[in-house]
Structure 1
Amino acid sequence: MLPSPFHSLGLDFSRAISRKFERGRFVVIGADPEKLERQFTETGREAVVLGTSRDLPAKLRQGDSAAHFEIAVWFYPPEKSEDDRVAEDLSRCADNIVLIPGRGADVSERRPQLVECFRRFGFLPDYECDLSDLAPAAIRLQPRPSEPADALIPAVEATFARLNTRLDASQRGYQIQESELEAAHRHIAALEEKLLKLKEYRRELKSLKAQRQILRKSPERRIGQLLLAPYRLPEKFVKAIRKKLRPRAAKFARSAAPTQYQEWFERHRASVSDLKRMRHEARAFACQPLISVITPVFNTPVHRLEEAVESVLAQAYENWELLLVDDGSSSVDLLDALPHLAARDQRIHLEKLGKHAGISAASNQGLTRAGGEWVAFLDHDDVIEPDALFQFAKLLQIQRDAEMIYSDEDKLDEDGFEAPLFKPDWSPDFFLSYNYVGHLTAARRDVVQKVGGFRSEFDSAQDYDLFLRVAEQTDRIHHIPRVLYHWRRSADSSAISVRQKRGQLDATRRAIEDHLKHRGERARVAVDWRTHAFCVRRDLLLARKISIIIPSCHGAESLERCIGSLTSKTRYPGYEIVIVQGDQKSPEAAVSSSSFPGRLLYFSGATNGSAAKNFAVNQTENPWLLFLDDSIEVIEPDWLAIMAEHVQRPPVGAVGARLLNPSNTIEHAGIVLGVNGIAQPAFRGFAAEHPGASRQLQVTRNCSAVSSACMLTRREIFQQAGGFDENLPGALADVDLCLKMRRASSLIVYTPF
């Protein structure tokens, strides 16, 4: 197939150039007329599109009114045979000329030629006009008098700055792709290791089969077959009966024997008497908002949609409305069923789109028609628990200023409920790793409308994109720790795998990037192909100097290994090592003072770790502080830079890293409260590569506290919190410090990277 002679255009070229030039007629030369005319028609702008510059003279001969254009766009070709003629024609018929390199044109050669050519006709470059979103080398020419070279310097510098910004963006894109490639290589390496094991098993199996063949031909086996022949017939008969009954028995066993989770769920879900009590309680609520449940519908199996509607009709909280929005379905059965479903209750409303427009368009139609103060979103084949809306309304009796609420959820298939997702309370860093909020989620309608509702360009991740934009507006986001939503597994649902929906990972990444851009954060977003979660690497805007404070508690040998790994593997540009020792006369102290780099502090109360750390902080001046146990050894060169990426963020109070034992199991991955006592390390003893519950081991997230075995914080945050409580034992002093930071509205971050 021959390549197109026309310049390759983006899908929104006409819209982009219309934003730059809000009024006037266009003439465009060197683009595909059919494609571009369609774009301009959709944009509502008048334009004449010519395939080549040879068509221009005929257009100019049509008369004065038809031959004048406010804007001329020329996708100039590689050759310069007609430059003078085209420059003269465009200079006579247009007020503004935009030059864009066409297919195969060498910008470094052609652009200076054309600028000089148009200069002869009185058109000079407007360097203050930024057209880089049309094309990196696009330039605007206007009729203007010549200016001295000095006057052009600010405009040229501004152009250089814009190009440098685009170069930075391209470099970040390259780094993202490089990160994803590295993750893919690690994934491939793990698969290759498994493949080698499978090949080894295959060889062993082949050997066993060969041995079996030898045994089959042995005289002993032949004699045994003759002796046992009379007893074989009854045995074969029994086997045949068992084989026939086995599928039925297995199916019966699955349905008859509930899983451990199903048994737990049945014990904890609302009973009939509970629902009766909830109905009575809900009628007495001081705050009884109307909740609009929006359900986009597209070719849904009728029985599945009926189950979804039934689950709404069964709600204990009765002040709701259900909006079924048909997204141009073609299923005759569904189209027949929809009016009957809507007629079942006056609170059910049916909306129809004229054609299939996608889930975002259908959801936005529901938002337009919704009358509730709150809107909730229910997929067309999922179901909610009878107390779902009651629990949301109940929370609003206490948290009147809440603006988004989400619950726990599980999966639903033919065998019942499974795979529960027990979610943490609002964790903004965890939410940037993947959409754990998911279902069931409700938000104030005015907030959803304020952020613009759903965006079709993020379809397949449209809910994540919406929730990210809501999170930009508010942190009044609350969690209900109850399984209230059942997400049905189906062939085209990401309830099975995110790969079930094409483009979901790409749409998700774009949503995260857009969210970070709105917050003014420069970052790279890469997918982790093992977990399908995302890693956000922020640019380190200023690498502040760090005091690494190491209380020496385990002797000189341990300290030597710690500092050796620290100095040889740490890639961070600026830090000092501060070692806190006990009595200066001890043998360990004497060895340390002569062997180790950095500052050596002596503190008579060094056995009290909290007091030693507080003492060291007062002896240092650097703006950032890292507390490190002398038993820690560095294994990743970027460990400190990654922690610094987070601590530079104003909302963050402290950052903790993933710590591994020599057995390659988890020692520390954040601290949780109220588990096996006051506080316990999360996931201790798990394998290093284990994803953890809801991928929490392998993603950045917020937690209640982190350990000072490896904790980075800012000096002012540490001092405002009052430092470590010297009356508490080590681990509890860490928890106390983090809780004081959280009380001051700071985030505690765990990072595994």
Structure 2
Amino acid sequence: MQSNVPTGSTAPLNERFTLVLLAHDQSTALRRALRHYRDSSFAVLVIDSSSLIDAGIAAAFPSVQYLHAPTAGGFGDKVRQAVERVSTPYLAIADAESFLLPQALEQSLMFLEAHAEYGACQGYSLAFEAHADRVDYYLLDRKGCEDYSGASAEARLAVFAEDCPSLVSALTRTETLRRSYASLPAGFDSRLQQAGHSYGVVAQARVRLLDIPYGVQERSRVVKPQGSVTTAPGSVDMRAVAEQERFATALASAFGTDATAREQAKIIVKKLGERSVPQTEKLFESTWDSRRGEPVRRFEPTQYVELPFYNQAFFDVLTSLEFLLHAAPSGQVQLKELEAVMLKQKELSRLQRNTSAEPLDEQLARAFLSYAFNQDLVKHLLEVMQAKGDKRYVQVLQAWVQRLKAAAFENTARLFDTTRSGQLLRWLEAREPSARETHQVSKYLAARNGGPTFGILILDLEADVFKMQATFDSIINGYCRAFKIVVFTTGALPAETTPQNVLHFVRVNESNYVDKINQVVNQSDCDWMVMAEAGDELTPGGLFRAGVELLAAPQCQAVAMDEFQRQPDGTLVDVFRPGFNLDLLQSAPALMARHWLVRRETLVRLGGYSREFKNAMEFDLLLRLIEQDGLDGLAHLDEPLLTCQALAVEDNADERKTLLRHLAVRGYQADVSAVVPGTHKIDYRFAERPLVSIIVHGIGDLTALQRCLLSVLQRTRYQRYEVLVPTEAANHSVLRTWLDGQGHLASRVRLLDIDAGVAAGTLINAASQEAKGDYLVTLAADSEVVNVNWIESLLNQVLRPEVGVVGAKLVERDGSITQAGLILGLNDGVGSAFVGEPKTAKGYMNRLVVEQNCSAVSFACLMISKQLFEAADGVDSGLFDDALGDVDLCLRVGQAGYLTVWTPHVQVIQSGVLASTPQALAALREKWFGAFAQDRFYNGNLALEGEGFALGPVRNVPWTDLLN
């Protein structure tokens, strides 16, 4: 579109200049930017490539022109759309996350209007990174040549190549950009288009840099490429170099410059590309002072005083910008930090029942100092201070409330609700009993001698009174009253107490605290014991529910519950454990062995905790319980008991030692290693080398079958195996000819004649009758084995007497997950979690990288002993001949007392799609109704939709139903 407006200063500013804001899924940042520019009189055009239109922009900012461009493929596409629509003779481009200074834009406009021979003008910018309580500023532009005024493109580019300031946000003549983009091929790689933008501007016109502060650019978005074609300084990426050279040659050719200019273009593209590497030269930081309502700045030792930023006027502008950044947080770093800050604010906002707790007004005042832009918190603090009659504080808060309202941003407290920590708190709050339910449960327990009593053993080995206070507050805030607390502290005793007191202190040191714990347990009159650490916080309803549930479970010796864990950054994650899972306990004790409720009589009978394994006391206790009593009496309750600090992800020598001790007691000369820090991989080191029969099933495409057979023959290290290929006779001659060409290994393959159209269940049953091996492996004909030790890894599990079935990790060729054990009820059927996760993913609770028990695995790769297969009558071909026979087989084996183990140490390339029909699924549901009601290797608090292991719906505990 051509402009009819004269390029003079007499026309209104909105007829002379347009600011183009580029946005993509940046709703908050876009509104923040528009709030920054709203008092300016120039025109604003938004090019938004988000998939959904932002319908609220027009209502909130009626003077802004908004263009929804979901098909815009990158920076260049957006700029092309902008220059087609802008009618003003000048424009500037900015990312929605960054800020240009309106006064600097007007100064640049004045320069261009006074100097017709120049095509673009800008000043100097900083990079910034927003945090929860501060904003850090980094060096972006360096002082260099400020006037690229050569008469030819070659002359200007030669000078420009020395410094290469980015001109992406320069105020530019619209016609200059129009000509530039007309020269650029539309198909240029979007990852380098921003370098092409700057090159094109210099090639088309003279450029001037003014000695003024021009803007602050969000650090992670500084010339941010769509993909990675640039490399960190000092490294070499040949693909990136080749791409840069190709692009530079295309640039030079597009603008008709000579061979010398092509070399300059390579330099310019490389230098501008390096701007996408995060800047490391921090200049200063601005920490928001909530008392003063403004930032306090701290400068680094190295400064660049020749840059035009060191004046009060610029810092006043930054103060205004920082208010916007904190009032409307958007960046990933800032939002992640705010999750932890606002979680702490939420916790400080709770009314404490503990009379010795910090007063609420002091808690809220502390929370306010950490982040003053949480409007819910400010409102709460104002109400408390008004009730308290603190007039001075009330006036300060009222003024602050008005300032927040004037900003017209959404309440930042809503941001917390969308975070994982916020979702977990809301989910937990919904589980608390009402006043009526509390009365009913208390009455129910009172009629039964008050219900079970709990001894809460708290380790305070750091003598941290603040952590202890948090733990005390949480216990008092809970609904359970049938408890006694014993604190084992290395500090001075705050009071003289006895074991008969509800709160008892015991002085300990590093060498005797385990003995002291055992003495207390022996003397206690409580029914159940649970160990925690100072700083752990019990949930309001955890022990209350346990008290009711344990009345109906006299056979239980030890009960695991769920928990929330506080990460090093202060945020929360959930640890929703499965029902008792022997292999997951052994593989990941840091996640599975902590905070069990243990019957006191059982703890005494086992001799208490062991001094030998102080860093794995609870794990060792559970292993000794299994040694004495087997797996009976071990249970799980789907209810969070407490919030605790997550353990450091590191190897634990005491865990490994007691696990080796335990395995030796069970008769294994095992070896324990760690594939992933903090986990254990057990090699049971069986001496047996049984014959294994591999049944290849589901043959459709002979080419796929040949790939499958080659993978087995060429990648199997284990020598004692045979391969059975049941297929119709018509395929035999083709396969026999092919096998004859595969050498001596092909002698391991036996072709079995099967009628056409035979279903998988019947086929596997028939093949098993022909198998000579002691162990059977079912392997899908469209699969390929990956690791050479795959049979040894399957045998490592199936040779254990308690194991019946073992299944493998199914993956795509790129290693992404297609099946990782099966979950009953997932997505209204039987499915696998983690589908699509990358090969590097560890999964929820490390469940993609450790061996564990599950309800079922699929025939795509499954090992079972032939004896057990026959004892179970094989596949139920009556009900599950076409589909789900593998699931039914695993459930029958489990019903007989055997474990199904899934191992990530066997990887098989296969689609992972489980064969299923409506009839088979209905039959499976009817036959295994109880298992479908709750898969005991999953968790009732987790969602049964989607990819699995997500937080389930917010719902109440059926407190009244528990009493029946």
Please classify the TM superposition score into its range, dividing by the shorter chain length: 0.5 to 0.7
Which of 566, 574, 590 pairs up with 2:733? 590
**More off after superposition, 281-290 vs 231-240:** 231-240
**More off after superposition, 640-649 vs 243-252:** 243-252
2:884 corresponds in structure 1 to: 732
Structure 2 counterparts to residues 300-449 of structure 1, below 5 A: 300-326=463-489, 328-329=490-491, 332=492, 335-336=493-494, 338-339=495-496, 346-353=501-508, 355-357=509-511, 359-412=513-566, 418-435=572-589, 436-449=591-604
Between the aligned partners of 1:724 and 1:212, the Cα distance in structure 2 is 75
Report deviation, 1:654: 0.3
1:95 corresponds in structure 2 to: none
Cα shift readout 1:140-198 (whole Å, capped 9, x = no counterpart): xxxxxxxxxxxxxxxxxxxxxxxxxxxxxxxxxxxxxxxxxxxxxxxxxxxxxxxxxxx
Between the aligned partners of 1:413 and 1:385, the Cα distance in structure 2 is 17
* 1:560 paired to 2:710: no
Cα shift readout 1:568-613 (whole Å, capped 9, x = no counterpart): 111113111111112x1x2x33212343332211121554111100
Contact 1:527/1:534 (CA < 8 Å) preserved in 2?
yes
Between the aligned partners of 1:741 and 1:498, the Cα distance in structure 2 is 35
Contact 1:647/1:714 (CA < 8 Å) preserved in 2?
yes
Contact 2:565/2:644 (CA < 8 Å) preserved in 1?
yes
1:497 corresponds in structure 2 to: 648
Contact 1:527/1:535 (CA < 8 Å) preserved in 2?
yes
Cα shift readout 1:462-501 (whole Å, capped 9, x = no counterpart): 222222222323312111122221003xxxxxx25144xx
* 1:551 paired to 2:697: yes
Between the aligned partners of 2:166 and 2:857, the Cα distance in structure 1 is 63
Q: 1:552 to 1:674 in 2, by over 3 A?
A: closer
**More off after superposition, 308-317 vs 679-688:** 308-317
Report deviation, 1:684: 1.6
Between the aligned partners of 1:419 and 1:226, the Cα distance in structure 2 is 47
Between the aligned partners of 2:759 and 2:141, the Cα distance in structure 1 is 60
Contact 1:439/1:485 (CA < 8 Å) preserved in 2?
no
Between the aligned partners of 2:727 and 2:448, the Cα distance in structure 1 is 61
Between the aligned partners of 1:228 and 1:468, the Cα distance in structure 2 is 66
Which of 460, 464, 469 pairs up with 1:297? 460
2:668 corresponds in structure 1 to: 521
1:509 corresponds in structure 2 to: 656
Cα shift readout 1:699-736 (whole Å, capped 9, x = no counterpart): 11100100111000011211222211223265521111
1:486 corresponds in structure 2 to: 643
2:432 corresponds in structure 1 to: 271
The AA in structure 1 aligned to 2:788 is P
Q: 1:509 to 1:638 in 2, by over 3 A?
A: same
Q: How high is the sequence identity, in percent, across the aligned residues?
A: 23
Length-normalised TM-score, structure 1: 0.64
2:742 corresponds in structure 1 to: none
Which of 705, 715, 725 pairs up with 2:856? 705
* 1:646 paired to 2:797: yes
1:574 corresponds in structure 2 to: 720
The AA in structure 2 aligned to 1:479 is H
Report deviation, 1:302: 1.4
Report deviation, 1:686: 1.1
**More off after superposition, 423-432 vs 234-243:** 234-243
Contact 2:698/2:760 (CA < 8 Å) preserved in 1?
no
Mark the runs of 5 or more structure 1 residues left unpaired by the alignment.
1-203, 489-494
Q: 1:551 to 1:272 in 2, by over 3 A?
A: closer
The AA in structure 2 aligned to 1:514 is R
Contact 1:282/1:390 (CA < 8 Å) preserved in 2?
no
Which of 612, 622, 635 pairs up with 1:457? 612
1:746 corresponds in structure 2 to: 898
Length-normalised TM-score, structure 2: 0.51
Contact 2:692/2:722 (CA < 8 Å) preserved in 1?
yes
Q: 1:386 to 1:601 in 2, by over 3 A?
A: same
Report deviation, 1:370: 2.0
Between the aligned partners of 1:622 and 1:356, the Cα distance in structure 2 is 55
Report deviation, 1:673: 0.9
Report deviation, 1:286: 7.9
Q: 1:235 to 1:640 in 2, by over 3 A?
A: same
Between the aligned partners of 1:679 and 1:431, the Cα distance in structure 2 is 24
Contact 2:693/2:724 (CA < 8 Å) preserved in 1?
yes
1:65 corresponds in structure 2 to: none
* 1:213 paired to 2:376: no
The AA in structure 1 aligned to 2:562 is D
1:691 corresponds in structure 2 to: 842
Q: How many residues align?
A: 526
Between the aligned partners of 1:621 and 1:227, the Cα distance in structure 2 is 82
Between the aligned partners of 1:617 and 1:640, the Cα distance in structure 2 is 18
Cα shift readout 1:660-701 (whole Å, capped 9, x = no counterpart): 112321122110111101210222211122101000000111
**More off after superposition, 274-283 vs 679-688:** 274-283
Report deviation, 1:407: 0.9
Contact 1:359/1:459 (CA < 8 Å) preserved in 2?
no
Q: 1:361 to 1:606 in 2, by over 3 A?
A: farther
**More off after superposition, 244-253 vs 471-480:** 244-253
Between the aligned partners of 2:564 and 2:775, the Cα distance in structure 1 is 42
2:764 corresponds in structure 1 to: 613
